[in-house]
Amino acid sequence: MDNKFRIDKTAFKATTAREADDHVTEWKDKTPWERLEAAWFLINQVYGTTSKTRLDRTVFSKRER
């Protein structure tokens, strides 16, 4: 697992529900590249792959129209 996205459990603090719901502000502070990396990490977590896994092209096929 990539340690880049590991949760720092010492960084948590008690907040109100409104403050906790305001995650947009946190993501606006990140660069587009950091947001893209985080999205790619989450996609890999969902599908159980790693970022170095190549697409299995045997699953997909081309067809003539």
Contact 50, 44 (CB under 8 A): yes
Is 4 inside a domain boundary? no
Nearest-angstrom CA–CA distance, 36 and 33: 5
- Structure pTM? 0.50
pLDDT over 70 percentage in the chain: 77
Is 52 inside a domain boundary? yes
- As for how many domains the chain has, the answer is 1
Q: Please report the pLDDT score of residue 1 as a whole number.
A: 53
Is 13 inside a domain boundary? no
The answer on pLDDT for 60 being more than 70 is: no
Token code pair at residue 6:
């590991």
For residue 47, the enclosing domain spans 30-65
Is 56 inside a domain boundary? yes
Region 1-6: what's the mean pLDDT? 68
Chain segment 28-55, per-residue pLDDT in tens: 889 999 999 888 888 888 877 776 666 6
Contact 5, 38 (CB under 8 A): yes
> Residue 39: in which H helix or E strand, if any?
helix 32-47
Contact 40, 51 (CB under 8 A): yes
